[in-house]
Structure 1
Amino acid sequence: MTRHLLPLALAAAIAFPAVAGAADTQPPPRIVVSGEGQATVAPDLALLTLSVMREAKTARAALDANNDAMAAVIAAMKSSGIKDRDLQTAGIQINPRYNYTNKPDGSQEAELIAYQVTNTLSVRVRDVDKTGEILDKAVSLGVNQGGGITFTNDNPAATVTEARKKAVADAMAKARTLAEAAGVSIGRVLEITDQNVPPPPMPINAKAFDVQGGSVPVQAGENSYTVQVTVTFELK
């Protein structure tokens, strides 16, 4: 019996339809657009950084003086309605202070003058309207170094959701405009990615406060939350 071998050229032609079938699975035309949405809300939380610095001849004396002053500040915070969970020590520093004098040979002689102890307290004020009053009490009772205030929101989820909806609507509007200009129409959504952009903090330098009588005037303003999305649409 005679066996017939298939020519190589014919073998290649028979395999070709599989390659053509793979080409049929290529993704449909698509368009990728970005959108941005923004929503604002009044702050409901003030973050304070308060520091007490005391100086004395010895580190022990400076620490004791600082402890007394900070204890009074903490007591004032609690009497104003600040809970224990919203009071946190942010750091304690003990530093020697020297006086330097020039010697005839050009060198310097260091003389220990005192020790400085600085205790820093972080405070969360949940009643923003009391921020000025609380700051005024703190300064009156011993806070004597720069700190700051940052106004933020305890739970901005609802505001971020509003911004996210606006971002998606913005992306869809852009996609329709581009598709119409190109003579096509958009189809189903293939992919959505989003990025939540936190609002920049609104710090206020505590050194700038006028603490001569009365509560410190404080304006909380509002926070703006921005969401950016990237949406991929199918084109029809």
Structure 2
Amino acid sequence: MRFGLMIVAALVSLPLLGFAQEAERRLTVTGEGRIEAVPDMATISLGVTAEARTAGEAIRANSRAMDAVLERLRAAGIEDRDLQTSNFSVHPRWERANSSNAAPRIAGFVAQNMLTVRVRDLSVLGETLDAVAQDGANSFSGLSFGLQDPEPVRDQARVAAVAEARRKAALLAEAAGVTLGPLLSIDEADGGGRPPIMMEMAEARMSSADAVPVAAGELSMTARIRLVYAIGE
């Protein structure tokens, strides 16, 4: 009976051993592809801050200035779909009394309205920034560049990443004295490509002589692809 159990155990272990050996005869490589592209869109975070004696007066002053900013942006060709209020707040401005024992008092109210703007025509970016500043935009908290349609550039990065992974696989197989078998799996190592990052910016002044100087530079789109090959006999 014991002899029979040993035979059964050996028979069960054979396919497991074969599976382990098959799993070990694999080559996994990762390739990275990087493509540079000139941005064709900018995203601005700007706003209007107004202060007045009462909250209502602060809101009205803020609204008048923001209406002028929005009108200027629309006149520059910015569509409503590219204008989005990102934050609106009203809060008191406290003032400390001369006496250290006296409690602070409300000296006025501050109203702030922040707007996120997408500029799809970079040729008007500089003059648009200058114009909205003159119309009342007195808060700027961010400017970033991007691509309106990043997928074609991301696909180029993926193709470059696959080519790099295949090159590395062939190089490693040759160095190890083995042959590459069939491709077993392929996947994106970073789950769909990295977001674009800014490269070194080159000077790119906008068309208006009075415009704010803006450097658009380049974006770098990166993808990482993992390939798994079987190792041939």
TM band (smaller chain) = 0.7 to 0.9
Counterparts of 1:28-43 in structure 2, within 5 Å, are: 29-43=25-39
TM-score (normalised: structure 2): 0.86
Candidates 190, 194, 205, aligned match of 1:197 = 194
User: For 2:197, what is the secondary structure of its paired residue?
Assistant: coil
Measure how far apart 1:14 and its partner are.
6.2
CA displacement 1:128-154 (0-9 Å, x = unmatched): 111111111100000112322110112
Q: Which residue of 1 aligns with 2:69?
A: 73
Name the stretch that deviates more: 155-164 or 193-202: 193-202
Query: Does 1:143 find its partner at 2:143?
Result: no
List runs of 5+ in structure 1 lacking aligned partners. Answer: 1-6, 205-212
Counterparts of 1:219-234 in structure 2, within 5 Å, are: 219-234=215-230
Candidates 110, 114, 127, aligned match of 2:108 = 114
User: For 1:61, what is the secondary structure of its paired residue?
Assistant: helix
Q: Kindly, what percent of the aligned residue pairs are identical? A: 36
Q: Which residue of 1 aligns with 2:84?
A: 88
CA displacement 1:45-94 (0-9 Å, x = unmatched): 11111110111111111111111110000011111111111111111111
Candidates 142, 161, 171, aligned match of 1:167 = 161
CA displacement 1:174-195 (0-9 Å, x = unmatched): 1111111111121211111212
CA distance in 1, matches of 2:160, 2:33: 5
CA distance in 1, matches of 2:84, 2:69: 12
Number of matched residues?
A: 219
Choose 1 or 2 for highest CA Rg: 1
Name the stretch that deviates more: 135-144 or 93-102: 93-102
CA distance in 1, matches of 2:12, 2:184: 27
List runs of 5+ in structure 2 lacking aligned partners. Answer: 202-208
CA distance in 2, matches of 1:160, 1:14: 54
Measure how far apart 1:23 and its partner are.
3.3
Q: Runs of 4 or more off by more than 6 Å in structure 1?
A: none
TM-score (normalised: structure 1): 0.85
